[in-house]
Structure formats: C-alpha cells, structure tokens
Amino acid sequence: MTMLPSRSRLFEDFFRDLSPGFFIKPLHGDALPNEITLDIKESDEAYTLHAELPGVAKEDIHVTIDGAVVSIRAEVRQHDSHKQDERLLRSERYYGSVARSIRLPQEVNDATAVAKCENGVLTLVLPKRTQAQGAKRLNIA
C-alpha cells in the first residue's frame, strides 16, 4: 500500500487550502475574460478575423493596424444594477482590459479595412495590400 495521496486528492487538498472565495463566480455573471479568442480566415483578397468579446460594448473596443500587425484592445466593465426600492446587500464591479496582437502573413490595406461588432463578436475584414509587380532591376551607370 502506498503512502502517497492519489492525484485527485492532492489537487483537492491544494485548492481547498486556498482562500475560500478565490474561485467563487461573481453574482452577476461570468468573470472577466482573460484572453481574446480569435478565428482567422484567408481568401485571395482579404483576411477575415472574428474575435469573441462577450459583454464588451463596441465603444470600448480599439483596433489598430500597423502593416501586417493587427492589435485588438478591449476595456471590460461589468457591474450590478439594482432598483430604487431594493436594499443593496452586495455590489460588485469588475474593470479590466484585455489585448491581443497578431501578425498576418501579408500587410493589410488599412484604408479599406472594415470592423463590425455584433452579439459579442468583433468581425474585421482586412483587405490584403497589393504589392508591387515583382522586383525592379536598377541599371548601374
């Protein structure tokens, strides 16, 4: 008979010893997202990027394009609301920000890029920048 605790027992003991409120979910819903989840598709003309940002208002989403690098930053604000005739027993507010940058294989034409946010999903249509027609040979004088 072994004296070592079983694997599941070891983790149960570890997490039980942590602060009792550490893993409690907020009363009003999910905790803040800690990462932006992305899906990227490519066609001949453009990249289409879908980013999940549930509960984030479109005014709090910031997208920047620098060549082939696309950066998304979101300010996350969650708070409980209560009615005037209710007695407030607990009020929780969560504020934070999440950010994600990705380098695409080809530069993006930022002048014609389009962004849309609907139902917690940010959709970016990022047209590829047309490159010069091959390399140009210089004549040496």
Task: Assign residue 123 the CATH number of its domain.
Answer: 2.60.40.790
Residue 43 placed within a domain: yes
Q: Which of 69, 64, 77, 71 is nearest to 33 (CA)?
A: 77
- What is residue 96's predicted lDDT score, i.e. its pLDDT? 83
Residue range of the domain that includes 45 = 30-81+90-127
- What is residue 1's predicted lDDT score, i.e. its pLDDT? 52
How much is the average pLDDT of 110-119? 91
pLDDT digits (tens, 9 = 90+) for 42-91: 999 999 999 999 888 889 999 999 999 999 999 887 766 666 677 776 66
pLDDT band at 3 (very low <50, low <70, confident <90, very high): low
Number of domains in the chain: 1
Side chain identity at 17, as an amino acid letter? D
> Alpha-carbon dihedral of residues 128, 129, 131, 132, nearest 10 degrees?
150
14 phi/psi in degrees, rounded to 5: -60, -50
CA–CA separation, 52 vs 77, rounded Å? 16
